[in-house]
Amino acid sequence: MKPMRSFARQGWTSAATWTSVLNRFPALRSVLNTLLALRPIDQQEETVMHVTDHRTFRPTLALATLAIVSLGLTACGGGGSPKVSAPTTNASTSTTPSSSSSVAAPTTGATSSGDSTTTDFRPGQCFDDTINWSLTSCTAKHKLEITAVVKTSQYANDPVKRGILRTWTCNNVVAGYVGSPTAAFSRVLGQPMPSLVDPKSSSEIVCVAAVATESDSGYSEIDYSLKNIIKDKGYLPYRVCTSDLPSAVDSPKIVPCSQPHKAETVGGYIIGKPDGKYPGTKAADDLAIAKCAPLADTYLGARRSDVIAASNHTGAPGWQQGITITACFVEATKGTFLKPLKGMGKQPLSKFQ
């Protein structure tokens, strides 16, 4: 059987095949790289084995932001999953700098994959890209920012369980770092720093975040800190828009929100733990839409019939890899729209087209 995608929409659920997801979703590839202790995600192409249906894919370098949650694979067959629990020690090493421009240089020198010197990583430090990992000021052009450093050696001798824990941990800290409890999914993506970059990766999990481009073509270069960015600037600049309905198309095309689109994200949540205990499609769908429907109503300012709430989550294989995010959408049941629907209330959709 083909992999499946879990989907929930107000009042009903369905599943649709999604066979090309790894080709489009390097965010998932990053998870697999972590599990397999591979290279940083921007280094030229790696062939990875899809762990749920044992077929080889060669991912592109495009960053598909919708990946983490729209993946929703539900593979046929059993096999079970490793049992992983949340970190046994308290998260976070140090406080985030009050100003991004005040980030100091590492106390013991820079780190590279071939360098034995170590860096004391701290939340709020920024890096130029995922190849060089050179420390830079957050007011200079950069792509990555540390969101948390979790001191834990849990599962240090089990690469698979450690990878699952790393992925879940770094997804879990995004909303808190950007300052919004409903922003676990946006163009701000979380991922663990590759083990090859952090020589202390067996005793700590360094989480970083990046902003995906609106056209879904990679990481954006930014010159500001992501700390409290959604709290301060709002969710709108970081929403994800699609020219297809995520509920109806296997591989919805992500487009800049300045172009006509049929759906846009309104936020997202972490709805599971890193233990591989998937509650089943119906239970996960019910949980996802229970979270997303009120968020959509608040975003729109009213309950409507021509614009509805929808949610996508990762399904059982995603949960087994530590990806337990659900993305929340609003979708136009007919046609497209151009302006953001936030606060539209009872106004006619035509005013936003």
Number of domains in the chain: 1
Which tokens hold the place of 153?
A: 């050696």
Amino acid 86: pLDDT: 65
Give the strand pairing for 241-242 and 254-255: antiparallel
Distances, alpha carbon 98 to alpha carbons 2, 206, 222, 261, in Å = 49, 19, 18, 37
CA–CA dist 207, 194 (Å, integer):
9
Domain of residue 192: give its range. Answer: 4-352
Residue 282, classified by CB atoms within 10 Å of its CB into exposed (0-12), middle (13-18) or buried (19+), is: exposed
Predicted confidence at residue 276, as pLDDT, reads 76
Q: What is the 3-state secondary structure (H, E, C) of 6-48?
A: EEEECCEEEEEECCCHHHHCHHHHHHHHHHHCCCCCCCCCCCE
pLDDT of 54 reads 23
Q: What is the pLDDT along the chain (353 residues), one digit of tens a residue?
A: 222 334 444 433 322 222 233 333 444 334 333 333 333 333 322 222 222 222 222 222 223 334 433 333 222 222 344 556 666 544 444 433 333 333 333 333 334 333 434 468 999 999 998 888 999 999 999 999 999 999 999 999 999 999 999 999 999 999 999 999 999 999 999 999 999 999 999 999 999 999 999 988 899 999 999 999 999 999 999 999 989 887 776 567 899 999 999 999 999 999 998 887 899 989 998 999 899 999 999 999 999 999 999 888 888 888 889 999 999 999 999 999 999 999 999 999 999 99
pLDDT value at position 58? 21
